[in-house]
Amino acid sequence: MEREFGLTLRTLRYYEERGLVRPVRRGALRVYSAKDRERLKLITRFKALGFALVEVKEIVELLEAPRGRRKNLHGLRSRLSEQRELLREQCRELEKVLELMEETLTEVNGEITAQDDGNLHGG
């Protein structure tokens, strides 16, 4: 499971504690079912999309609910759209930070060049 999903044992145990997966226990060994594997695929996907673990659990349970699947999918689409907009806003903010970083680096490089030129000319 660690290799398949890129999760640490600690993370898998945490997900188990939170009720996200329910492997069968055989002594110290945990056996993950096909359902657990599908859940882990969903968990890792929605975590990668920036959802909090509480939200991930809600989404996974929504997707697994036997009734109202169409309604659930509409709800999921709405949540995904909101998350997409949040991520886009974060990208815009990061772009501003990167622009400021470039300006600052340019200023620092200019200072270094000025000091180097001053040292070359007997400064």
Are 29 and 35 a contacting pair, CB within 8 Å? no
Q: Which two tokens stand for residue 52?
A: 């909090």
Q: In this predicted structure, what is the pLDDT of residue 102? A: 98
Asked whether residue 10 is domain-assigned, the answer is yes
> Which residue range is the domain that position 44 belongs to?
1-64
Are 107 and 99 a contacting pair, CB within 8 Å? no
Tally of structural domains, the chain? 1
Contacts (Cβ under 8 Å, ≥6 apart) of 9? 2
Are 39 and 20 a contacting pair, CB within 8 Å? yes
Q: In this predicted structure, what is the pLDDT of residue 3? A: 83
Q: In this predicted structure, what is the pLDDT of residue 116? A: 86
**pTM greater than 0.85 (yes/no):** no
Along the chain (123 residues), what's the average pLDDT of each consecutive run of 10 residues? 86 92 90 92 95 94 82 90 97 98 97 86 66
The enclosing domain of 27 has a CATH number of 1.10.1660.10
Asked whether residue 113 is domain-assigned, the answer is no
Q: How far apart are CA 119 and CA 93, in angstroms?
A: 39
